[in-house]
Structures are given as C-alpha cells and as structure tokens.
Structure 1
Amino acid sequence: MSKPPTLHVLSSGGPVPTRARFGSAYVLESADRRYLIDCGPATVYKLVQMGMQPLDIDHLFFTHHHFDHTSDYATFLLTRWDHSIGTENRLKVFGPAGTKALTERLIGESGAFSTDWKARVGHHLSHTMHISRGGSLPRPAPRADVTDTISGPVHEEDSLTVSSAPAEHVQPFLESLAWRLDTPQCSVVFTGDTQPCDRIVDLARGADALVSLCGNFQSTLRDRGIEEGQTGTLGAAEMAAEAGVKQLFLVHIGSDLSVAENRESGLAEIAGVFDGEVVLTDEMTSYEIMTDRPVRSAGTRDPIAHPHIHRH
C-alpha cells in the first residue's frame, strides 16, 4: 500500500540566510513517486539528510530563476548523473523561460561544469568507480529533458498531470510560474514567489493543498513598501479561502514570522480569513497532505472580501 502523500520541506526561507532557514526546495511524495519543486541552496545535502537521493527524483519544477530557488541545480544534476548507471529514468526539468539556457550553461559541452564531467567520462579512475556501481563504458555525458514552459497544461503521464499559471513577482526581468501537480493521491499547488493573484487562485481551485509564499505579516510588507510581487499572511489566506483548498502550507518565511510569538499572531491572522488547516512550515520537516477531509467550497471572488488578490 502506498504511503500517504507527503510534503517534504527541505528549505522554507528566502535569499537571506538565517540559522533556521535559507532558500526554497520542496519534495512532493505521492503514489511512490517524488517530485522536486525548486532547488535552492544545499538542496542535495538536505535531500540526503531527509533520507532521499537525487536518483529518487525524476521530475524537477522551477518556479523562477532567482538564486535562492536554483543555486543547487548544478549539484543536483551532476550528483544524479554521477551516481547513475544507465538504467534510471532520464530527468525531466520544467521551468519558465531560461531553464534550457541555464541547464546548457551548467552542463553543456562548454558549460561551467564541462571540465568536471569530461574528466569523469574520460579518466580511468572514474571508469573504475562507475563500473563498480554497476555502470558500463563508454560513459555518456550528463543529459536532462528540459522544457521552457508557458502557462496551461504542461505534462501528463500515467501517474502525474501538471499544469502551470503565471505568477506575479518581478516581471519583466524574469518570468515566474505557479505549479499544480495532480497525482492519483492528491492535488497540490505551489505558488512560488508571487503577489496574490486570481490566476493562481484559479489554478488551485479544488486542490487539496496550497503551498504558498508567506514573507511576513501583510501589514509589515505594506509598511516597508515591499508588498508588490510578494505574499504575506492575509494574501496567502485569501488565496487559500477563495480556491477552497483543505490545507495551506506557508513557506519562504521571513525572519519576523520565525519568532515564536509572531508565529502565533500570524496564524491567528490567517485563521480569521481561512478556516482550513494552516501549517507554518519548518525546514527539514515532512507533513502529511490530508486528502480525506471534505471538499471545501470555493470562496467569494468579491474584491472587497479579498482585497489583496490582484484581479485581471
């Protein structure tokens, strides 16, 4: 019997490192498959610390290409390739515009790490180690199937249907996407970095869980003049309520909300808008996705009721 669907939070911070959080990376485990969303600092190390390996991942989804979401991509690609013996599934990578180019600049024929993989392909010591793992020669160069994605239906296979929607972060400098993964066990939406917007609400309608950026109290973002392109407590709550999801997982959490007394205040503020389960996540922690709860009705689209959601 398959395990219950699980959200493994590898990293739940932002670009400013703290002792508790740094960067973004999450694994959705469902129906005996694991899907990686974003690949921020130390993703591979944290993945292993949580009992997983890069070869356990066949699908990687990037929300956008800020460094706190992508900086361990080279490590992930090369570790997965170096430990492979040729019988594994080829890695599928999906992301906004620039994902193919980023991959080529890292592991392409003239990429930043081409001297590394060419040594491992060519030197007899690496040949011996590769054969000892069960591989055979000649050893192929690292490869991945990479897709630059636009919004809408993206990918479908036996156990997975993937859709995306535009997120609203720092356009036009880089594109951002929210992702919806539908598996036989659950439906989960990852907002990535965004301000609250109705496109993500529509993507999340009827999903079991919403994994949302929550950078700070909404009032703090507003008072500091950094509300545009970001989601705070009330914005996350409004998107979850309007989409009718069962659970709201808060990630990409700023330092203010990491303080114990502020956590409780933030959760109370969210509970005033969204009456489902709310989890303010911690790094290196796993959370069960509750799919056996009654389906929640979607909330109102009244902009007065949910004033922080950007309408199109």
Structure 2
Amino acid sequence: MTAKPTTIHVLGAGTPTPTPTRFGSAFALQIGDEQMMIDCGPAATHKLVKAGLWPTDIDYLFFTHHHFDHDIDYPCFLLCRWDQSTGKENTLQVFGPTLTERITHGILDENEGIFAHDWKARVGHPLSQRIHQNRGGDLPRKPPHVLATDPFLDSLAYRFDTPAGSVVFTGDTQPCDSVTELAKDADLMLCMCWDDQEIMDADGEAPGQCGTLDAARMAQTAGVKRLALVHIGPHLSQHGPMEKGIGDVREIYDGGILFTDELQTISL
C-alpha cells in the first residue's frame, strides 16, 4: 500500500516586520486529498493561490496564537472561501487558542460582525446571486457558516502524524519541554527562528522566542529528522547573518536544515 503524500507549503516565513521576501506566518498542509492551513498571516489567501491551492479546498484552519502576523488575513480568507463556494463544500472548521471564537463571530456575525455588510450584500444583490449560480450554487444563497472552537490554552503547537510522516508547527515559542516532547522523533519540525542567538541574548530579545541556537537545541533534544527555520527576522534574512546562523545551527543539530523561503514546498 502506498502512503498518502504529505506536503507543506510555506506561505509566510517571516515576522511582524515586513521585508521584500518574508512577512508573517502561514502554512498549508496537504495530507493526501485533505488540505488545511496553520495560521493565516499577511496575504495568506493570495499566497495560498500562488502556491497552486484554492480556498474552498481548505477544510480546517489551526491558529497557534493571535498575533496579527499570524491571523491578520483571517477575514480575507473567511470571506473569500465563502464567496468562491457553491454552498456544497464542507463546513470550515477552525481551531485555536482563546479568542478564536470571538474573532470569528466578530468578523461574520449577522448583527455585529464587522464584515456582515459585505456578505449580506452578496447574499441579496441580484448580480451576486447570478454569479453564485454561475459557479454552480443554488438560491437562496446561504450566509457564511464556520465552526470555530477555542481549546483551553493561550498558545498552541500542533503535530500532524500522517501516513507519510510526522510534522510539527511550533508557532511562537521559547525552548519549551512541552513542545520538545510534542516534537519527539518527528520527521519535520517548523520552528520560529527570530535572529542570531548571540544578538538576541545581548539585546534582551531571547526570552519568549527561539533564535538560532535555541531552535537547534530543541530540534536536537526532540530528535527530529529535519528542522525548517520559519518566522525569520529581517536581520537573519540577510546574507551573511543567514549563513552564520545556519552554521551555528549545524554545530548543535545534526539533522537536515531548511532555511525557508515563502512559497517553498516541503515534502515528507
């Protein structure tokens, strides 16, 4: 029996600081025929399409936490997925830490949602109705419906064990025993890597997040086979610091290293 292929699409490999090559965090995960997203940072919907995927094919969205660089494109994704649908797709299910339900209802709620004016117009306007029918939809057009669920933690990491292997998305994290345990023996861990560890230690930016050495230590302790560096800051994105950072990681971590670019595809 052939295992279902698993593919990770790096949609956003950056931080809150926009650079010409990276901005925010977002990933798409394909496990066989299933498609899902992890985080929904700046322009994630557009980047999803640039990666050759389509919003209506995404059935699950997982948030690690609710910094804007991880969720600012959520309204766009919700409205685009609904607008492009025929009404016959699976209901989108969204999971994340505290505020996930509140943000979702705040976007779409019929009475108080800040984008309710948009979907109401598209439900009721004759031209929008015609376009919806031409896409294969039926009338009356249904309002958006999303199942959003808050677990009981403020910041989450996710592990997906697939037939082709296991992948872990850390979100924003400092070295953390619970994340290390979650990632134990995984085939791939996507870990934030803000900057050169020496610089972070010197300027006081090390607590609460991983730099080069902390990401390497977590990956080595967890025994993951490949480490993909994401959430890369503007300084580390530059040539010179980038090559030094990769070398520093190699001094500690003996698995495969990926210094990710946006729209990069990783296969298990």
TM surpasses 0.5: yes
**Counterpart position of 2:20:** 19
Q: Deviations over 1:184-239 (max 9, x none)?
A: 22211111011111010011112111100000011111111111111001111111
1:135 to 137, 153, 156: 137
**Counterpart position of 2:221:** 242
Structure 1: gaps (5+ residues): 152-174, 290-312
**Counterpart position of 2:89:** 88
Q: Does 1:190 align with 2:158?
A: no
Q: CA deviation at 1:149?
A: 1.3
Q: Does 1:219 align with 2:198?
A: yes
Q: Deviations over 1:135-173 (max 9, x none)?
A: 00111110111110136xxxxxxxxxxxxxxxxxxxxxx
Letter of the 2:115 counterpart:
F
Letter of the 2:132 counterpart:
H
Find the aligned partners of 1:185 and 1:45 in 2 and give their Cα distance.
27
> Quick one: higher RCO (CA 8 Å, sep 6+), 1 or 2?
2
Match runs of 1:15-164 below 5 Å: 15-109=16-110, 110-150=112-152
Find the aligned partners of 1:284 and 1:273 in 2 and give their Cα distance.
28
Find the aligned partners of 2:14 and 2:35 in 1 and give their Cα distance.
21
Q: Deviations over 1:97-154 (max 9, x none)?
A: 1100000001111200000000111111111111111100111110111110136xxx
Does the aligned pair in 1 maintain the 2:230–2:260 contact within 8 Å? Answer: yes
Letter of the 2:209 counterpart:
Q
Question: What's the RMSD between the two structures over aligned residues?
Answer: 1.3
Find the aligned partners of 2:21 and 2:4 in 1 and give their Cα distance.
28
TM-score w.r.t. the length of structure 2 is: 0.96
SS at match of 2:40: coil
Change (3 A) 1:150 1:208: farther
Q: Deviations over 1:39-84 (max 9, x none)?
A: 0010111111111111121110001111010000011001100111
SS at match of 1:177: coil
Does the aligned pair in 2 maintain the 1:2–1:32 contact within 8 Å? Answer: no
Find the aligned partners of 1:133 and 1:196 in 2 and give their Cα distance.
48
Q: CA deviation at 1:181?
A: 1.4
**Counterpart position of 2:10:** 9
Does the aligned pair in 2 maintain the 1:31–1:183 contact within 8 Å? Answer: no
Find the aligned partners of 1:2 and 1:74 in 2 and give their Cα distance.
35
Does the aligned pair in 1 maintain the 2:3–2:163 contact within 8 Å? Answer: no
Letter of the 1:144 counterpart:
V
Q: Deviations over 1:232-278 (max 9, x none)?
A: 01111111111111110000001122122222211111111110001
SS at match of 1:140: coil
**Counterpart position of 1:206:** 185
Letter of the 1:32 counterpart:
D
Q: Does 1:262 align with 2:216?
A: no
SS at match of 2:252: coil
SS at match of 2:95: strand
My pick for the range that moved more, 221-230 or 29-38, is: 29-38
SS at match of 1:36: strand
Find the aligned partners of 1:281 and 1:246 in 2 and give their Cα distance.
16
**Counterpart position of 1:296:** none
TM-score w.r.t. the length of structure 1 is: 0.83
Q: Does 1:253 align with 2:255?
A: no
Letter of the 1:13 counterpart:
G
Find the aligned partners of 1:119 and 1:35 in 2 and give their Cα distance.
28
Residue correspondences, number: 266
Letter of the 1:136 counterpart:
D
SS at match of 1:258: coil
Find the aligned partners of 1:119 and 1:276 in 2 and give their Cα distance.
53
Does the aligned pair in 2 maintain the 1:96–1:150 contact within 8 Å? Answer: yes
